Structure 1
Amino acid sequence: MSPRIPLPPPPPPAEIQNWPDREARLADRAVALDALGRRLLGGGRLALFLGCFLMLQLGWGMVGVLLTSLGGAILDPIALFIGLVVAAFGLGVLVPAVWLTARSVRQDRIVRERLVRWAVLDRHGPTDARLRAPALSVTWMLLSAAMCGIGLWMGFAVPAGTSRKAGGIGLDDGSGLVAYGMGVALVFWINGLIGLTKAVSHYRLALRVTGPVTRRQDPRSASSAPPRPE
């Protein structure tokens, strides 16, 4: 979410709403919902999500250079020094990536709250259909499910493969490689869960707030209606 483009403001309270007619209210509602929907599932938001994921993997990969150098049977001072330098740069990438991911999750919550407030103002078929965004929801869902699957597979495959290769040879038990591999799996798993939760919750929320409305009878019209014959 770019700070240069502010979020649409929330709708005014009911007591000060002054739209001249329903068409004006629907027009403002459509503009706000379209903007908020793009902030949640649009192409820019997907690019930011993937960018943060790649930054996390890059930063952790640079830290992994140090981890793998520490897991060797013979500790090489030169390799250790190189690992420390690379790990320092890796932390410089990893920390901002973690901050951006946490910030995006917080901002998604704000966007979702405003989206609900605009959605419950009224109902409009074309606008509500765009809000559901089934194609974007499926894209997020498939991509995030693939991340979760890769992370789950790596969580089992890396320790098993490393233990078979190490075979208890001296001090080279592959612990550094296991730590690095589990970190990679965790990045896949956490980002996959974030994206999957976003896609499913948005689609369910859109169905709930744009569902059919039960019409209520106006009490004034009910009182003015002629009595039914006995």
Structure 2
Amino acid sequence: MSSRAVLPPPPPPVEIRSWPDRSSLLADRAAVLGELVRLHVGGGRLALVLTWGAVAALGWASVGAGIASYEESLDPISDLFAIVLLFVGIALFVPAAAFFGLGVARARKVRTLLAGWGTLDRDPDGDRPLRVPGLGLAWLLLSYALCAAGLFTCVAVPASAAPGEDTYGVVILGMGVGLCAWITGLTCAVTAVSHRRWVLRALGGPAAAGPAA
């Protein structure tokens, strides 16, 4: 879920590390961690998570609207309109869900790299910009809002559906959109919590004695 196709490499094994001194190691570590933090909790990734979640919700809404339209159809024109809505919804939902899943898998790889490079050494002063508490808070607040809205929608729509008045399509539409919001919010929560845990584990300890050159 980033415009950059190639992730930074993992830190080299101890037996082949060739940094001339600790300052060189810390410089490389800072550059790689800065890029990894950007890929993990940066504003660009947050925008992509929200975008793919919104496109998936829009696609599911279109599918639900198509089903509802077909259930209430009275003529061939309405049938055609319902079929168009179904195809548009599928065309939106499937790629959005696929890219969303790829982004989640990529974030897992980024977290693995963060753990490797973060524990390579300690630099309390230089690591301060990597903590980005404001971004972490933004991810967490969005997760609360999206999860709450999604769960409420998933429960409220079927609970308030009146037999004979509300179609299955309307219920599918509401529950699908709510589920998309809940999954997006859960992804934001996992990102915020995992970044905070990484900060405490990898950046919160005392400085190491030096690199294994």
Task: State the TM-score, normalized to the length of structure 1.
Answer: 0.84
Report the 3-state secondary structure (helix = DSSP H, G, I; strand = E; otherwise coil) of the residue aligned with 2:65: helix
- The amino acid that maps onto 1:144 is S
What's the CA shift for 1:215? 7.3
What corresponds to 1:115 in structure 2? 114
Give matches, 1:36-75, under 5 Å. 36-72=36-72, 75=74
Give matches, 1:1-230, under 5 Å. 1-4=1-4, 6-72=6-72, 75-163=74-162, 168-169=163-164, 172-213=165-206
C-alpha contact (below 8 Å) 2:52/2:100 kept by paired residues: yes
What's the CA shift for 1:99? 0.6
What corresponds to 1:220 in structure 2? none
Report the 3-state secondary structure (helix = DSSP H, G, I; strand = E; otherwise coil) of the residue aligned with 2:126: helix
C-alpha contact (below 8 Å) 1:141/1:196 kept by paired residues: yes
Q: Distance in 2 between matches of 1:173 and 1:37?
A: 46
Q: Distance in 2 between matches of 1:174 and 1:127?
A: 58
**Residues 144-203 of structure 1: CA distance to partner in whole angstroms, max 9, x if unpaired?**
11000101111222123322xxxx44xx44322111100011001111111111111111
Q: Distance in 1 between matches of 2:190 and 2:70?
A: 37
- The amino acid that maps onto 1:54 is A
- The amino acid that maps onto 2:77 is I
What's the CA shift for 1:77? 3.3
What's the CA shift for 1:83? 1.1
C-alpha contact (below 8 Å) 2:67/2:169 kept by paired residues: yes
Please identify runs of 4+ aligned residues in structure 1 that moved more than 6 A. none
- The amino acid that maps onto 1:152 is L
C-alpha contact (below 8 Å) 2:136/2:192 kept by paired residues: yes
- The amino acid that maps onto 2:104 is V
What corresponds to 1:227 in structure 2? none
What's the CA shift for 1:7? 1.7
C-alpha contact (below 8 Å) 1:137/1:203 kept by paired residues: yes
Q: Distance in 1 between matches of 2:207 and 2:40?
A: 28
Report the 3-state secondary structure (helix = DSSP H, G, I; strand = E; otherwise coil) of the residue aligned with 2:161: helix
Q: Distance in 1 between matches of 2:74 and 2:126?
A: 63
**Residues 93-114 of structure 1: CA distance to partner in whole angstroms, max 9, x if unpaired?**
1111011011001100111111
What's the CA shift for 1:60? 1.2
Q: Distance in 2 between matches of 1:143 and 1:158?
A: 22
Name the structure, 1 or 2, with higher relative contact order (CA <8 Å, separation 6+). Answer: 2
- The amino acid that maps onto 1:191 is T
RMSD of the alignment, in Å?
A: 1.9
Greater displacement, 114-123 / 173-182? 173-182
**Residue correspondences, number:** 209
Q: Classify 1:194/1:2 alpha carbon distance in 2 versus 1 (closer, same or farther; 3 Å).
A: closer
Q: Distance in 1 between matches of 2:124 and 2:103?
A: 30
